[in-house]
Structure 1
Amino acid sequence: MKQINNLQTVPSSRYDDHDPEQEGNKNTKFADLIIDGRSLYQMLKQHDMVLSLGWGSKEYQRLLIDYFLLKETHPYLYYRYPILVCPWCGVEECGFISVHIEREEDLVIWSEFKLEPGNKPISIGPFYFKWIDYEKVINDTFGTAGIQ
């Protein structure tokens, strides 16, 4: 049997209040995803990207939520979705981390995390979430950092 992971969301930012690295850098605010008590942002922080959820324009946030809820497929990644993006602009051309998302009945599975461009595997996951809990958490990311 697959271990079901617990998923939560919390507001987060690229830098802590007293982090000297934030001077002259964009301190992007976003919706962090907490998996079994561990921050996904912190797990992948060495790649200097932020989670794609919870920030940007209203349209961008809705599109990302639709991707993560499998209502829309990505135009060229299909069932892979940008989960961490450039903290300056969120544009995929700057590089991103993608995840394969699939649904099997009442489970959502995140697997095959990859650093793009280059399709380089990242050793994290897979994660299994109950659909009913997952859907609420993903929807709750909307507006975490406001609308830009």
Structure 2
Amino acid sequence: MKTINHLQTKSSSRYNDFDPEQDGNKNTKFADLIIDGNSLYQILKKYDMVPSLGWGSNKYQRQMIDYFLLRQTHPYLYYRYPILVCPWCGDEECGFISVFIERKEDVIIWQDFKLEPDNKPINIGPFYFKWVDYERVINDTFGSAGIQ
């Protein structure tokens, strides 16, 4: 049996209040994905992308939640989903980090992270989450950083 990871979210932003990098940049607020106490945003910060959950329009947020809960497949990635996206617009054409998500009985698995569109592997994961906890956490991201 694989070790079950603990997933939670925390409202976060791209820059802290005293970060000089925020001048002239968009300080996107988002639902940071915390896995076993570690921020996925911080782990992947060097790619200058933000988590795709918790921000954007009502329609965008609902679509991301539906992807992560496997209610719908991505139109061209199928069971891969954009987990980190452009902090300015969230558009996949700007580049993104994808993850393969599957459900096996009552466990959700995140694995095979890739930098897109170059399809370059990122060496993190896999992560295993209990479905009942995972579903609640993902649903709770809606509106956590507001609706734009």
Task: Confirm or deny a common fold (TM above 0.5).
Answer: yes
| Alpha-carbon distance between aligned partners in 2 of 1:24 and 1:118, rounded to the nearest angstrom | 28
After superposition, what is the alpha-carbon deviation per residue over 1:1-58, rounded to whole angstroms, capped at 9, x for unaligned? 1000000000000001100000000000000010000000000000000000000000
Identify the residue that residue 62 of structure 1 maps to in structure 2.
Answer: 62
- Cα offset, 1:145, TM superposition: 1.0
- Cα offset, 1:105, TM superposition: 0.2
Letter in 1 for 2:84: L
Q: Percent identity, aligned pairs only?
A: 80
Equivalent residues in 2 for 1:1-148, closer than 5 Å: 1-148=1-148
Ranges in structure 1 where 5+ consecutive residues have no aligned partner: none
- Cα offset, 1:107, TM superposition: 0.1
**Size of the alignment, in residue pairs?**
148
Flag as ranges the 4+ runs of structure 1 deviating above 3 A: none
| Alpha-carbon distance between aligned partners in 1 of 2:71 and 2:41, rounded to the nearest angstrom | 24
| Alpha-carbon distance between aligned partners in 2 of 1:39 and 1:129, rounded to the nearest angstrom | 16
| Alpha-carbon distance between aligned partners in 2 of 1:42 and 1:99, rounded to the nearest angstrom | 17
After superposition, what is the alpha-carbon deviation per residue over 1:108-143, rounded to whole angstroms, capped at 9, x for unaligned? 000000000110000000000000000000000000
| Alpha-carbon distance between aligned partners in 2 of 1:81 and 1:33, rounded to the nearest angstrom | 14
TM-score by length of 1: 1.00
Residue aligned with 2:9, SS: strand
TM-score by length of 2: 1.00
| Alpha-carbon distance between aligned partners in 1 of 2:90 and 2:32, rounded to the nearest angstrom | 15
Residue aligned with 1:82, SS: strand
| Alpha-carbon distance between aligned partners in 2 of 1:23 and 1:9, rounded to the nearest angstrom | 26
| Alpha-carbon distance between aligned partners in 1 of 2:25 and 2:146, rounded to the nearest angstrom | 19
| Alpha-carbon distance between aligned partners in 2 of 1:88 and 1:146, rounded to the nearest angstrom | 15
Q: How large is the RMSD of aligned CA atoms in angstroms?
A: 0.3
After superposition, what is the alpha-carbon deviation per residue over 1:56-91, rounded to whole angstroms, capped at 9, x for unaligned? 000000000000000000000000000000000000
Residue aligned with 1:10, SS: strand
